[in-house]
Structure 1
Amino acid sequence: MMKLRLKLFFSLIVLFYSLLAAQQNPSFKIKDGQFLLNGKPVEIRSGEMHYPRVPKEYWKHRLMMMKAMGLNAVASYVFWNYHEETPGKWDWSGQKDLKAFIKTAKEVGLYVILRPGPYICGEWEFGGYPWWLQNVKGLKIREDNEPFLSANKKYLTELYNQVKDLQITKGGPIIMVQAENEFGLFAYQRKDISDESHQSYLNKIVKQIKDVGFDVPMYTSDVTDFFSGGHVEDALPGGNGEKDINKLKMVVNQYNNNKGPYMIAEFYPGWLTHWGEGFPRTRTEDIVKLTKDFLSKGISFNYYMIHGGTNFGFTSGANYNKEHDILPDLTSYDYDAPISEAGWRTPKYDSLRMVLAKYTKEKLPDVPAAVKVIRINNIRFKNLYNAFSYAQTQEKVKAEKPLTFEELDQGYGYVLYQHHFDEAIKGKLDVSGLRDFATVYVNGRKIGELNRFYNSYTLPVDIPKNSDLQILVENWGRINYDAQINQNTKGIISPVKINDQNITGIWEMTKLPFPDRFSSNIKAKPLSQQEYPTLKDVPAIYQGEFDLQEAGDTFIDMQNWGKGLVFINGKNLGRFWKVGPQQTLYIPGVWMKQGKNEIIIFDQLNGRVQSSVNTLDKPILNDLTR
């Protein structure tokens, strides 16, 4: 009897220390066809949210909303070009503090799925790649190419040094890392590259991820029809957008030793939107039904997006389309997601929460209250500037041909191209190399618009003797999806012609990057009120101030404006364009303050002079005017 008691005692001691070790050394593994969290089977119920698209001050609020919905993980891309804007200069601070984002997720009680790419797509400028990679001699992105692989290794090393202690193996919340992104689809699109070369590239990316130190399970994310080109050994294949559970299981089994676990790596509760097309809506009842199916059959999933946020500044990308040549993405990344752009719970959120609550053991937390919303009426403008006058104060470059943004060492914004004609000329102006939108002037007088979206590259010109042709070009965002991602230089990328003859001689290019923190320190003379009528159809800069008793979220109403940018206290809210469907821009309340605030609007089209602007308490995201 004594021996039996001692045996039981020591068994309890072993069990106690085993449980203690499990608590002190948490683990996440893919084993025996299951996800195992601390040795116990678990299903992933994740939502996608991107730290650059949500003000840092709101991260915790949005993550708490995810937790209150019944999710147990958050997934996020890592945005290489967000952290290395110029070669070798890394920024992981403030809004770019990925480490703080991950720690906040842990604080809220969510695990983290990291998606470092290097290619992310995500309707993000250049699919996450730094624009300046295109200036590196011999470099080809997404190919088995030494200059690219060398740059990528540096990126992954920098990333790992930021998050290495936040892996679950070190007590952090990161449970999985994705290898590349939808590479099978890309391999299918790039038939000009051999399957062997594609696989060699993919294997080297995976090896780099492992070599820098990541030691949590790895997975891939692809449309199930293209698993063959995107699968790598020892990585769980995850299906994107798959609704057929039997098909998902069949394809995963084919590439994962005939077993699970099974995961929808991107489960779409909404969809993306481009300028010039209607805002798509995804039926709540369809998403609820699919969610019920996945939960009842043990399928893990990641809602893409659970909360989209905003493409602030110049971060929105574009898709390629043969009909339109380019499909630029909206500033709003609302995505018709369960949590709206401004962080509001939606009927879709409430419906999904009710379903998830039935599959969650513990009671769900209360849903956090929404951030206060305000309206600001009659914001008056103090100063108006002719943008051509502003351009006179900016850096200029002269060359024998139009130079691209990349050749000018400029990533984003606008470039003013100018050529002087000693003799008169008349005929058809052809800017087939336009990337992407331009307004055209002769001696500062507008004669037309050119537009890559509408395949509009020509217009008639009548240029007098001793006159200047001016072409103000906007970079709309580099292509983030399709094989055309490899052809992504901006500005004017080929000779400008009149009557099919190249314009020869000197071009003067003025760089207009409109950097973040753009403020009232505009080095140009404001116009007098008597000069205001001269601004019609001339690109203009409006500057004003407004006082607030209390800050709050709001939406600036741009329905009466043309095309351009809005800055609040130096923060670039993003692009607006009168064609819609987006007619408002989201202003986070945390970017304003009690007391005096500044607003600057750049309008490239400027059909008529504006005296004021208002904000609304609701966004307008589905109003097409063309």
Structure 2
Amino acid sequence: MKKFSKYFDVIVFFFSINLMFSQKGNFEIKNGQFVLNGKPFIIHSGELHYPRVPVEYWKHRLQMMKAMGLNTVTTYVFWNYHEESPGKWNFSGEKDLKKFIKTAQEVGLYVIIRPGPYVCAEWEFGGYPWWLQKDKNLEIRTDNKAFLQQCEKYITELSKQIVPLQINNGGPVIMVQAENEFGSYVSQRKDISLEQHRKYSHKIKDMLVKSGITVPFFTSDASSLFKGGSIKGALPTANGEGDIDVLKKTVNEYNDGKGPYMVAEYYPGWLDHWAEPFPKVSTEDVVKQTELYIKNGVSFNYYMIHGGTNFGFTSGANYDKDHDIQPDLTSYDYDAPISEAGWGTPKYNALRDVFQKMNSQKLQEVPQPMRVITIPEIKFSKNANLFDYINIQKPIVNDKPLTFEDLNIGNGYVLYRRKFDKNLKGKLEIKGLRDYANIYINGNRIGELNRYYKKYDLDLDIKAGETLDILVENMGRINYGAEIVNNLKGIISPIKINGTEISGNWKMYPLPFDKFPKHNYKLKDIAVGTPMISEGEFTLNEVGDTFLDMRKFGKGVVFINGRNIGRYWSKVGPQLTLYIPGVWLKKGKNTIQIFEQINDNINFKVNSIDHPILDELVK
């Protein structure tokens, strides 16, 4: 009888969830409250970005959220993720936004959409497609005709995914954000008037309305920045605001003296950069702030509840006075309550206890984590000098170095090459380096330039007949602040030796690494310091999540079964492993490919371990 009762409870639960979303509903802001189907509603949300999680794991991660006690999931939509090239849109497969929203609905979560068009999010270029910069008449995040035309195309395509799934159409979407953290941008762009700024942000909201979005709108800014970021007709929410009195006072000022009160980004963790310590937020602090919000009836969204991974070249970068770029890690673990691999952390368990105390019904059981495996050793049977690959490619020739954008690639690498007809000795200067370069003479590395450390020059001694190679990496476009408008990559200003511009006969070899370079891998000696491409095979009897141990490597990217799983930079840390989702592995034969840029310690094998290493800086 107990067994039957248990199954009956499960059936009733799923029936209630189905009933909850099977009919058209209503969500509105009324009398200073969120009102869901006629009843007051407090949003307890967590942020999860579907592009950072394999599609096969979406349901698991959403179930983790539901089991913690949340009622809503919030996600950004990344424009550049869906418009793969100008006019080519993809909302299918792992990019199926509708499927993500419907999966949240199946799990019993409401959905908040943050479509930008600017999203920040430690994502490449804040979500903007890189090729927008090719239009010299276009300026992003302003009342600019060319830019707004592109925004309208994006919003029109996006609305096709969202409108049918709004709550009033029987879906789970209850709110949509207009622009994103615009107040901070306004505060940094003093060259543009507040009036012009507000013209732009209000036009974005008007586009969203025109596209058919009818659920309530909101804006998201620090409470001190509402003046520049608030939009008429959109609820202002306060990012990171822990003081309830400040929250209420500020929202009242910009919302006709009333609520509801919401913190659209409460940070239970924080973002991470290469070459910098991994920041942590204590469980005690997160629990205390959560309880304060709940006690005061404040709606909130954990940013992030589950970070996931910046696969491929999707990670962005920051900019500050000490570093001309601060590239973000491949891991987007964020010290979030649900780890990068989807594991519940002590922070998760503590928060689940908080939500259980306020729920009269028992929360769902926490789903089991995905299987984890280790791979003892993978040998690279095919290895080659990258220059061997480059030497059989056809270059693009120009008097001056061209940017990535001029070469029509968005990400990856470009090799800049020039042969000298006379001796030159002195200081090589590349002040327009974006972002990282290894320098070679006749294939021998002579040094490294690095935008992070503001190192833009080195001593050089080149003889007549010798070849200079400059291998440049785009480490991610800036995604936050005023510098977002200066996001060209490659070499964007003259190359100089002893103050004299070196022009004429520059050969450029684009290496986008959208696919791993094909090579016949004829065996030959590979010198230390030579950029190397390697390939190996390994056989698995079972699949599962795992963490590739990159501690014996320097800097580069890894492909697994044709997928770019991200960058590593083990020479500096703090991330020393790469997460490989088990769903991207196969029983039987698998392929691994690595591009190692630095190659200080030639290594022909790699292994995986059962846990991530994300917080070890390398001296």
Same fold (TM over 0.5): yes
Q: Deviations over 1:398-455 (max 9, x none)?
A: 1110000000000000000001101111110001110000000011110000000000
Structure 1 unmatched ranges of 5 or more: 1-19
Distance in 2, Cα, partners of 1:610 & 1:234 = 59
Q: Deviations over 1:594-623 (max 9, x none)?
A: 000000010000112212100010000011
Please tell me whether residue 555 in structure 1 is matched to residue 522 in structure 2. Answer: no
Q: Is contact 1:240-1:264 (8 Å) kept?
A: yes
Q: Deviations over 1:140-193 (max 9, x none)?
A: 000000000000000000000122110111010000000000001100010010
Q: Is contact 1:394-1:512 (8 Å) kept?
A: no
Q: Is contact 1:281-1:336 (8 Å) kept?
A: yes
Q: Is contact 2:417-2:506 (8 Å) kept?
A: yes
Partner of 1:593: 586
Partner of 1:7: none
Distance in 2, Cα, partners of 1:389 & 1:102 = 47
Partner of 1:81: 80
Partner of 1:417: 416
Give the SS at the match of 1:543.
Answer: strand
Partner of 2:521: 526
Partner of 1:426: 425
> What is the alpha-carbon root mean square deviation over aligned residues?
1.2
Partner of 1:584: 577
Please tell me whether residue 28 in structure 1 is matched to residue 27 in structure 2. Answer: yes
Please tell me whether residue 537 in structure 1 is matched to residue 537 in structure 2. Answer: no
Please tell me whether residue 483 in structure 1 is matched to residue 482 in structure 2. Answer: yes
Partner of 1:9: none
2:614 to 598, 613, 621: 621
- Name the TM-score, length of structure 2 as normaliser: 0.96
Partner of 1:366: 365
Counterpart mapping for 1:167-178 below 5 A: 167-178=166-177
Question: Shift in Å at residue 504 of structure 1?
Answer: 1.6
Give the SS at the match of 2:271.
Answer: coil
Counterpart mapping for 1:55-134 below 5 A: 55-134=54-133
Change over 3 Å in CA distance of 1:469–1:623 after alignment to 2 = same
Q: Is contact 1:394-1:511 (8 Å) kept?
A: no
1:602 to 576, 595, 612: 595
Change over 3 Å in CA distance of 1:217–1:503 after alignment to 2 = same
Partner of 2:331: 332
Q: Deviations over 1:61-111 (max 9, x none)?
A: 000000000000000000000011211000111111111100100000000
Change over 3 Å in CA distance of 1:447–1:151 after alignment to 2 = same
Counterpart code for 1:537: G
Q: Is contact 1:119-1:180 (8 Å) kept?
A: yes
Question: Shift in Å at residue 330 of structure 1?
Answer: 0.4
Question: Shift in Å at residue 233 of structure 1?
Answer: 1.1
Distance in 1, Cα, partners of 2:395 & 2:364 = 57
Counterpart code for 1:580: G
Q: Deviations over 1:370-404 (max 9, x none)?
A: 00001001101110011111123445211110000
Give the SS at the match of 2:204.
Answer: helix
Partner of 2:11: none
Q: Is contact 2:21-2:171 (8 Å) kept?
A: no
- Name the TM-score, length of structure 1 as normaliser: 0.95
Q: Is contact 2:119-2:126 (8 Å) kept?
A: yes
Q: Is contact 1:574-1:585 (8 Å) kept?
A: yes
Counterpart mapping for 1:435-474 below 5 A: 435-474=434-473
Give the SS at the match of 2:85.
Answer: coil
Give the SS at the match of 1:481.
Answer: coil
Counterpart mapping for 1:211-222 below 5 A: 211-222=210-221
Partner of 2:37: 38
Distance in 1, Cα, partners of 2:321 & 2:390 = 34
Q: Is contact 2:22-2:170 (8 Å) kept?
A: no
Partner of 1:181: 180
Give the SS at the match of 1:351.
Answer: helix
Distance in 1, Cα, partners of 2:288 & 2:209 = 38
Q: Is contact 2:552-2:601 (8 Å) kept?
A: no
Q: Deviations over 1:505-564 (max 9, x none)?
A: 110000100114x3xxx5434242xx33x3310000110000000000000000010100
Counterpart code for 1:235: A
**Matched length:** 600
Distance in 2, Cα, partners of 1:74 & 1:624 = 33
Partner of 2:48: 49
Counterpart code for 1:489: L
Percent of residue pairs identical: 60
Question: Shift in Å at residue 22 of structure 1?
Answer: 11
Counterpart mapping for 1:229-308 below 5 A: 229-308=228-307
Q: Is contact 1:391-1:510 (8 Å) kept?
A: yes
Give the SS at the match of 2:199.
Answer: helix
Structure 2 unmatched ranges of 5 or more: 1-18
Partner of 1:567: 559
Distance in 2, Cα, partners of 1:91 & 1:399 = 34
Distance in 1, Cα, partners of 2:569 & 2:553 = 8
Distance in 1, Cα, partners of 2:71 & 2:341 = 22
Distance in 1, Cα, partners of 2:221 & 2:393 = 45
Change over 3 Å in CA distance of 1:31–1:430 after alignment to 2 = same
Partner of 1:143: 142
Question: Shift in Å at residue 236 of structure 1?
Answer: 0.6
Counterpart code for 1:202: S
Distance in 2, Cα, partners of 1:570 & 1:367 = 33
Distance in 2, Cα, partners of 1:480 & 1:309 = 18
Q: Is contact 1:307-1:338 (8 Å) kept?
A: yes
Distance in 1, Cα, partners of 2:101 & 2:168 = 15
Counterpart code for 2:121: G
Partner of 1:157: 156
Q: Is contact 1:22-1:38 (8 Å) kept?
A: no
Counterpart code for 1:611: F
Please tell me whether residue 546 in structure 1 is matched to residue 543 in structure 2. Answer: no
Counterpart code for 2:147: F
